[in-house]
Amino acid sequence: DLIIQAAPSRSTILIQGESGTGKELVARAIHAHSPRAERAFVTVNSGSLPPDLLESTLFGHVRGAFTGAVYPKKGLFDLADKGSIFFDEIGNVPVETQAKLLRVMQEREFMRLGGMETIRVDVRIIAATNVDLKRMTQEGHFREDLFYRFHVISVQLPSLRERKEDIPLLVQHFLRKYGQENGKTDLELSPEALNLLMEHDWPGNVRELENV
């Protein structure tokens, strides 16, 4: 219900939940139910790149911006124009990049790495985290002004151990999905097997259930 309500707006959305709860699926659902559905949905793996490379990836760079920048390059914000950009694990974005991200969110504009030209974009930002961002702001690891920019609409995803009534539905979905992939469309789970799944605590949440 919250996804359907929030999707049509251009407000920034913060999805919070443990690893494996399906945060990217929620982000994709928000995009799919928005007026931007026909445009790009771009995912940023925030923690996998060093600061300079992350900024080049997000904002692009001009020729000669750094060693190896032989050609100019557009960034992910260019690709996401009129669409949505999803920051997976926003808490991993380095502090030095956070200031530039704040500018994009406030002004809807940015400059390429090494460039002087201001580029305007219309991008809906969705972010996900499995850490306590408020605590990170108190510890000085995350900008407070950026935290409030992200915390406009918050979607809290429960862990699977809090929603065990979802297990039978998820099991049926995964049996169907992987049954079709493997040419076995009549797969069923015995009551005894389902009981074992219901009793497990699922520290890896839906992702762990899917793999099992």
Instruction: Report the distance separating Cα 51 and Cα 196, nearest Å.
Output: 45
Q: Sorting pLDDT into bands at 50, 70 and 90, what band is 127? A: very high
Instruction: Report the distance separating Cα 167 and Cα 204, nearest Å.
Output: 13
pTM comes to 0.87
Question: Are 149 and 12 in contact, with CB atoms under 8 Å apart?
Answer: yes
Residues in the chain: 212
Backbone dihedral angles phi then psi of residue 83, each to the nearest 5 degrees? -120, -145
pLDDT tens digit sequence for 18-77? 999 999 999 999 999 999 999 999 999 877 677 778 888 898 888 876 767 778 888 899
Percent of all residues in the chain with a pLDDT value above 70, rounded to a whole number = 98
Amino acid at 143: R
pLDDT tens digit sequence for 152-200? 899 999 999 999 999 999 999 999 999 999 999 888 999 999 999 999 9
Number of Cβ atoms within 10 Å of the Cβ of 184:
10
